[in-house]
Structure 1
Amino acid sequence: MRMRALGTREADSMADRQEVTLDRAQVKKAVQALQAFLKTKSTGESLFLEDTQPINLLFTLWKIPREAQTIRIPLPHGQRPDTEEVCLFTRDEPKMSPDQTQRFYKKLLEERGVKSISEIIPFRTLKTEYKPYEAKRRLLGNFDMFLSDQRVRRLLPSHLGKHFYERKKTPLSVDLQSKHLARDIQRMVQGTSLTVTNKGCCCMARIAHAGMTADEVTANIEAAVQTVVAKLRAKGPMMKVIHVKSQTSVALPIYTSDLSHISVLAASKNRDASRKKGKKNQTEEEKPKPTVETNEEEEEDIPQLVPIETPSKKPKLEKPSRKNRIQKAVKPAAAKKSPKAQSRAGRKTELKGRRRGLKGK
């Protein structure tokens, strides 16, 4: 049952998937206009820099995806010039020093025919020599791309820092034990990747450089668009507009979706809402209803019992007067006096009486 449900979901997603057809002539015109713009901006000093300037594809989606995704895009023509520097992070081989590990992997890459790696850094060297902040920044600026042995891939973020990920130079994982190592590294170096986030509806991928011909750039654009549309995890039409641009140019549109896709999006939303509502009703129907056993005696009308108010037997307490309250307050004070104090008070009153008697005589 689960396999059937998965099959139906995949069929629905394939049925709802948007088909993006590019006009090759229009794409080529946009690429030629972009290359002409880059040539006009180039001077004698910056001619070399303009030839290696990257060309990007900017994808604008109809809605923000629910989950983030990274799409690997193989390209028919390499989008990196031969002058770019590529760094490879490797694991530490047992019973070997960092220098021995570096020589070991250099020999391995030469035997497998890999020529695109310009520097090899073992993991122990990364932890010790590139621990300061300035060393990490220098490492980031010295290389254009970073690869990593998949066995140490999860250990790198804590040692590299956030700047590698902000500059979108995240090390890509490579299986150094693969039988087709040269092919895998070549595809990774000359291919590209698209990071689709769930925080916005725009994403960009590098697909060529200014030194390539218009036909090569056009072929890379077509391959990249078809790969992204096929691998994007989303239901219904998602692609709204596609632009081609460089770092210093404006964005030139090469694909614009029809407004008819808005009705398709609304229909897919209504369909999803009806499915959720149907599932909710189904779960409510499946819940067991409580059964109540009734007897004939319980079904008879039972008279309501109303409590009768009875007068309270306690008499009401009258509020004492002020004179009585003063007397009650004085009596405890007198009772608290010690026997010596009481005898002294008696003597004083006796003396007062005698004095009054003598005065009367």
Structure 2
Amino acid sequence: MLSQHACSMDSPRHELALDRSQVKKAVQALRAYIKSSSTSQNLFENDGQTISLLLTQWKIPKKEQTIRISLPHGLRTDSGDVCLFTRDEPKMTSEQAVRFYKKLLRERGLRNAIEVIPFKMLKTEYKPFEAKRKLLGNFDLFLSDARIRRRLPSHIGKHFYERKKAPLSVDLESKHLARDMKRLIQGTTLTVSNKGSCCMVRVAHSGMTADEVVENVMTAVSTISAKLAKTGKNIKIIHLKSQTSVALPIYTSDLSHLALVEEARKKAHLTKGAQKRKRENDKTEVSEVITKETEEEKDNEEEEIPQLVPIETPTKKPKLEIISKKGLKKVPKPAAGKGLKKTLKGTKLTKKIPKVTARDLKRKAKNK
């Protein structure tokens, strides 16, 4: 049984100082387990088993992080399954673009068998879900032209990202294209998730020698501890395992490292709080300056108003009387009165005289 080994954090840049002999024991134990579990039926499968590092952290990180790791011994052979998504060249069909980029890679010195898929071919031939699923299973590594990287997620689908096979960006116009491509093809990628404290990265396969696996493990741990957000302090335990074996510990952190993680978090929290308070103070100072300026402007205006307006005694009648007279003049007459006036003008007024008869004359004479 392998014993756990606590490593110090005093190395430069807080890189983990692994015990090489401990790592070699774990590698030899894994190789012995793979050979003992191999049979005539699964001999070919066990010959290509992957060996991975399992990292456990003290605290779950707040942000997701992707770390690219270049390994001294490549995980893939020259005939490995690698797919490259490229942009569409103007005045070229998809087949011509495929030949153009394959020729470019050969001229730059790349010997790996890389399948080239232009963007137009990806949109048309790999539009159905089944075609995308088959494409995902056919290749182990996907690369992307940096010029079309932002356009890929909507066309390849979420399954590439769920299976940790998101295309890695590469600059095809770079002068060091061969070097950059080899680093990506022979290297590996670690995705540090913010949804859990564990993450896994592939660093070797069972077809390598023990020394090659040890060198890859040492290089990977050194790169991860240097590029991790907490610079290696947050790593609690590191295990080494194959696809079917148990996890063998090769590094165990000391409890003092948890205190260091807490101190780093408190410092980060304090610095954030100080920056927030500084921003608030700056805002209050600016607002105070603005209020002072506005108050000074108001005071100046109040002082200047009496000097500009002279005091005079009124010589005319009050405005209220004038307004009242004008109001009386302008009062409109009712419409009914106007109509009556017009009818009276049109007709002549005559006095009605009662008629006198003979009987009335006789009555008057008798009364006299």
TM-score, length-normalised on structure 2? 0.70
Contact map agreement 2:238 2:252 (CA 8 A) in 1: yes
Contact map agreement 1:52 1:81 (CA 8 A) in 2: no
Which position in structure 2 is the counterpart of 1:243?
A: 239
Q: Deviations over 1:216-253 (max 9, x none)?
A: 11111111111111111226821110111111111111
Contact map agreement 1:236 1:268 (CA 8 A) in 2: no
Give the one of 92, 100, 104 matched to 2:100. Answer: 104
Which position in structure 1 is the counterpart of 2:358?
A: none
Structure 1 residues 229, 236: CA separation in 2 closer, same or farther (over 3 Å shift)? Answer: closer
Q: Kindly report which structure 2 residues correspond to 1:233-312, keeping only aligned pairs within 5 A, or say none.
A: 233-234=229-230, 237-272=233-268, 274-275=270-271, 287=284
Q: Distance in 2 between matches of 1:279 and 1:99?
A: 56
The answer to whether the aligner puts 1:37 opposite 2:33 as a matched pair is yes
Q: CA deviation at 1:81?
A: 3.7
The answer to whether the aligner puts 1:222 opposite 2:218 as a matched pair is yes
Q: CA deviation at 1:270?
A: 4.3
Q: Distance in 2 between matches of 1:235 and 1:221?
A: 18
Which position in structure 1 is the counterpart of 2:361?
A: none
Q: Distance in 1 between matches of 2:159 and 2:39?
A: 31
Which position in structure 2 is the counterpart of 1:117?
A: 113
Q: Which amino acid aligns with 2:43?
A: L
Contact map agreement 2:84 2:145 (CA 8 A) in 1: yes
Q: CA deviation at 1:62?
A: 1.0
Structure 1 residues 245, 127: CA separation in 2 closer, same or farther (over 3 Å shift)? Answer: same
Moved more, 258-267 or 138-147: 258-267
Give the one of 48, 55, 61 matched to 2:57. Answer: 61
Q: CA deviation at 1:98?
A: 0.6
Contact map agreement 2:98 2:118 (CA 8 A) in 1: yes
Over aligned residue pairs, what C-alpha RMSD do you find? 2.6
Partner secondary structure for residue 147 of structure 2: coil
Partner secondary structure for residue 110 of structure 2: coil
Q: Which amino acid aligns with 1:124?
A: K
Structure 1 residues 44, 270: CA separation in 2 closer, same or farther (over 3 Å shift)? Answer: same
Q: Which amino acid aligns with 1:158?
A: S
Unaligned runs of 5+ in 2: 1-9, 293-368
Q: Deviations over 1:273-307 (max 9, x none)?
A: 5555666776777756899xxxxxxxxxxxxxxxx
Q: Distance in 1 between matches of 2:166 and 2:280?
A: 48
Q: CA deviation at 1:74?
A: 0.7
Moved more, 266-275 or 156-165: 266-275
Length, aligned pairs only? 279
Which position in structure 2 is the counterpart of 1:164?
A: 160
Which position in structure 2 is the counterpart of 1:151?
A: 147
Q: Distance in 2 between matches of 1:270 and 1:106?
A: 53
Which position in structure 2 is the counterpart of 1:306?
A: none
Larger radius of gyration: 2
Contact map agreement 2:86 2:119 (CA 8 A) in 1: yes
Which position in structure 2 is the counterpart of 1:342?
A: none
Structure 1 residues 169, 269: CA separation in 2 closer, same or farther (over 3 Å shift)? Answer: closer
Q: CA deviation at 1:271?
A: 4.0
Structure 1 residues 43, 100: CA separation in 2 closer, same or farther (over 3 Å shift)? Answer: same
Q: Distance in 2 between matches of 1:36 and 1:81?
A: 23
Q: Which amino acid aligns with 2:131?
A: A
